[in-house]
A and B are shown apart, each in its own frame.
Chain A
Amino acid sequence: MARVVVDPVTRIEGHLRIELIVDEKTGKVTDAVSSGTMWRGIELILKGRDPRDAWAFAQRICGVCTSIHALASVRAVEDALEIKIPKNANYIRNIMYGALQVHDHVVHFYHLHALDWVSPVEALKADPVQTAVLQNQLLEKYGAIADLMPDPIGRRAYPKKFPKATPGYYRAFQEKIKKIVESGQLGIFAAHWWDHPDYKLLPPEVHLMAVAHYLNMLDVQRELFIPQVVFGGKNPHPHYIVGGMSCSISMDDMNAPVNAERLAVVEDAIYTQAEAVNLFYLVDLLAIGHIYVQKGQVYGGGLAKRRVIGYGEFPDEPYSGIRNGEYHKQVLYHSNGVVEDFVEGVERAKYYTLVGKDFADPEVIQEFVAHSWYSYPDENKGLHPWNGITQPKYTGPKEGTKTHWKYLDEKGKYSWIKSPRWKGKPCEVGPLARYIVTYTAVKQGHIKPSWMDEMIVKQVDTVSEVLGLPPHVWLTTTVGRTAARGLEAQVGVAANLYFLKKLYDNIKAGDTSVANMERWEPSTWPKEAKGVGLTEAPRGALGHWVIIRDGKIENYQCVVPTTWNGGARDPMGGQGAFEECMKDTPLQVVNKPLEVLRGIHSFDPCLACSTH
């Protein structure tokens, strides 16, 4: 048995260490350790502050999934203070959220994940002419996926950004890569395991195409976030307010934050999102994923096979609260629920719904710290976030010294990430989890599907057809996790078009309100209030729990997607999704665990989020 350490894990947000216990002969990973190696204590910093300021602090939990913690935070405070935001604010927040989904997923796929699948070294061997031919073929073969996206606005005359299927385009990128390689200054491509056998799975032309799009999308990604810049003033970290949004709408005042020109900027950006997703992302994803699946890479599902959880998103209209169940009556994305044993087929999977009251129930969602560097009065028990405690207690490694580790101690405490559990059980979160929950909910008939749910089911069925495999086989793999994310980006674009249309219609109907200021002044608040803010962050289900007393934050706890996925084991022995995924991934070269890295990357880990 070998113990392989990868630290730092790169192409992620923040500081993650993994340790693998591998059977050298078979390449089987028998056990795995995921450790978050940073902690800032933002929950402690939030205590005693004005709840209206909380969004800004919480937002700084992460600049990659920027805005999502702000959204969770304003929702939590609004839930506590029983504030219902205006319609426009709801539409605008949804568009900002959708923009995040699209951007984060695109950047993850190209800039954080692609180099696990494709290699610039292989791209050098490609023929640019053939690559151009291939690009056209792939657009023909997979391009129909674009038709799954409804466009209620329908104003784009023709795509402005589409893959350039010309030899010159590919030659330019190939030459750039060549010069970088020749100069010996490899920059971001330096020192990687380019000789790993998996880089031989794809033909060189696919490598060149994907690497070219890696660079091309580096330039395009900025435009995907333009809606946040218009409505929130900047990106990363746009501005929100409790009660709605600050970007007042007026068609009478030339200095108004939102007017027809600003809306046009947003509309154009959403169409750019559509093109980036439909013409680049999904086509590249299907091309690469298809080959990997055909070559037998159907591992890495791990925990997704057994249990996934989601909270639900895209409230169609404003709601009066989350705890009272109104939020879940409005969501279009019915990922709120838990699904067990999806791997046995969608008919045999077990589905449990999750609605407002479940998030206030002290037994449903809890966090454990038995194996994390925190202390609880009783570490065998979990705590509901309203009663949550964040008390650091660093203990050090199993081998090595306090400040110089060799191996971590998986029997003791070994991570700055806590362990969230649903009824004491670990769950995977993320686009894959949301897809499994939504798909199961629709197929088993638990919900009345919204247009969005229907779109998701259609996407899954379409891809199943392309791959020639049923959903429970291909979804519960590393490829499936990556594919679900791409499909979800398309849902994000569709949602943005849908909510922009609603925004137009509502303004047209004469409603320009963006903020409900009735409960702005602390004098209007109750002495004590508790709230939950839920959302579906790009990486999975996110909840903020707040207690407000005498106008100040008494307790603030965030239970974050990467906390679910990357967290430490629980006292009952349950392991999180990272560890389960690694155990479900065979290695070809023990000291170059590319497959595991790819599996970990398929979660899009965010460590700043996970520990906060």
Chain B
Amino acid sequence: MIYQKAILLLSGSITAVFFLTTPSAAQVDLGDYTVSGSIEAGGMPSHRSGNTTKLEEYRDLPETVVVPQLELFIDSKKKDFYLEFDSLKTGRDDQSYRLRAGRYGLLDLEFVWDQIPHLFNVDNARTPYNMNDGRYTLPSKPAGTTGANVRDWVNANAQPVDLKLYNGLARFNVRYTPNPGWTFRGGYGSQNTAGKRAFGAYFGPSPGSYNITELVEPIDYQTHNIELGGEYAGEGWSLGLTYNGSLFHNNTSTLTWDNPLNTTGLGAACVDSATYNQGAGTGPCRGRLDLYPSNQAHTFTLNGTASLPFKTNFIGAFSYGWRLQNDPFLPFTANSAVIQPTISRRNLDGDVRPTMINATLVNNFFRDLGLKAFYRYYDFDNRSKRVLLPDGIIVNDQGTATGDVFLTFPYSYAKQNVGFDASYNVTRWLTAKLGYGWERMHREYARELLNSNEHSFGPTFDIKPTAWTLFRIAYRRSIRDAHDYDAGRNAAVEIDQTPEEVRLSRLEELRKFDQAARDRDRFTFFTQVSPLENLTLHGGFDFTNDRYPRSVIGVQKDIDYAPSIGFIYAPLEWLSVFGDYNWERFDWRLQAIARNTGPGGCPDLELRTAENCPAATWRSRGNDEIHTVKLGSDVQLIKNLLNLRLQYGFSFGSSEVRSSGNSAASGDTGLVPATDYPTIVNRWHEFLARAEYVVHKNVALRLGYYFNSYSSKDAGVDIMRIWMGDIETPAGGPTFSSSIGRSIFLGDRGKGSYQAHIGFLGLKLSF
């Protein structure tokens, strides 16, 4: 608040400076310096209906006086020194400030402060917990353990909580160029993220017996970023070295929360039990979760260029880093009635060494022929310590140790890329290029595929027959193999099982899409044509088709196509109009098999295939379809005096999931049909009308009207309440599953619909 007042005071002072000057002065003379700038201020009346969280998801639109923009320039008359200050949305939650000063060609200093709000849900979510720095307690508990008990209790005791974050970013950068050859850079940035967001947590041993307690995650992050670097550029070569450091600290890295379903008592009077029993109200008194651990990252990068003989240029980079994390491990459980298993270490001693090497050669020796070759190596070398858990783990603060022997394997991978491109200027207006790329991905154990190779190749054409016509066409075909896919590969490095034992619990035909064999076709087309000096037409088409030929189970294919068209037209000197339309459709296909034994006479899991178990094979297909429109117009109603801008934006998106076939899960008496999900739909409109009337050389009157509406249908979210146990059922069925009836949620529906009409009446003063 004090900060906001200071800023408004500064704004007022600058306004006073303006009024001290003569009305016709373009800038203010202060000895050896000139001062110029502008300030805009005005009021924003508004009328809103519905849940406007989405309207202000990343911005602050208050119904009050605002200062949208403030600028100040101090220039030395010798033209050697400068100082610039500008601010946006002064004093508001999304305010930003920038101060830049320096000497031209020698020194540049910049200080930036930026605030980014992020609203998830306001005035909607509720929780019965008292939240205190990562310790969530319940002042009361349900009278019993039935769904009705939980319903009555949570409805009577849940209090509102806003789910939102604020990011505050401060950056200081300096650049020093003592001569055209040397450049030194330094920077420090601080990012503070604070607030609350929703996330899920639960108690219980299995998906059949549980109680969910959706919580509010306490966010209090602090990140410090440092950059230091120097570079020298000589005749035909350059060399630079940069250090980047990032220190992240989570001020609340542990969260404990009371279990509402343990009805033995409140707080310290609660009695822990190793056995989770929903009906009896026994189990853990509380749970304990490890939120994101604090960590550090340090990276050194060396890059250089050199001009070689025969018109060849070498460009290279080498980067080596450390990612460190050594937060102490929490105990396995917060349940005092459970015997803690053993663990071989107190912390992970997390240590990852990412390495990147890139070497590129570009050659233009032959006239009209451009050649490029590059090699890139990226190694994610995870040297974190292996941790032995000889007794297994405790699942959700109840029961006994699982008895498995776990030996964690720090996951590493390495990626190599090689590429060749040859481009030829066939004619003055046609350039054709042929490209080839190879990517080898090597994964350490813990994933199913050890090595994969992907080859890609294709032509590109750039056609520019005249200065006002441009066509760009590119096609790329990629083929990725996955011969060594083995579901049992991560055995014996993470769990005490043989590969054969692991495969018993896996589907032989399953292929995870990011490791599966894949054929990809990618086509892009772009054109820009200006048949008249005042008319430009542009259009494009982006198409990607991924097929997974060896994935009988898993993702079968996905296709994305996105055509776009647009124009900019200025039929008159005082009138211009523009418009854009984009349509995008993303389709995917998935095939899966029910996992539990017995349905439809299917064999055991490891022997089950789509062919021998068609009865339990189901398919799902989805498509996302989005239409986006932008239209606008700039009108000079009175030349140099009255300008009008009109702008309209519209986006309509839908997401469908359709399923077919039969499936079954634990508890089902037989196969049931796979079902469709209701389509998700969201619709967004934005209209902006803005007029500026230049009352005086230094004074402009600004009027604005802004309309924004948003509506959303997402059946999975729209139905949410803090208690979901009475979800509608057909006659004769269970009123709710025992577990859902004993669960509590935040009930947030952040995608609520709204309409907002916002006006603006203000003045812009320039000096």
Q: Does B bind A?
A: no
Interface of B with A (CB < 8 Å)? none
Residues of A within 8 A of B (CB): none
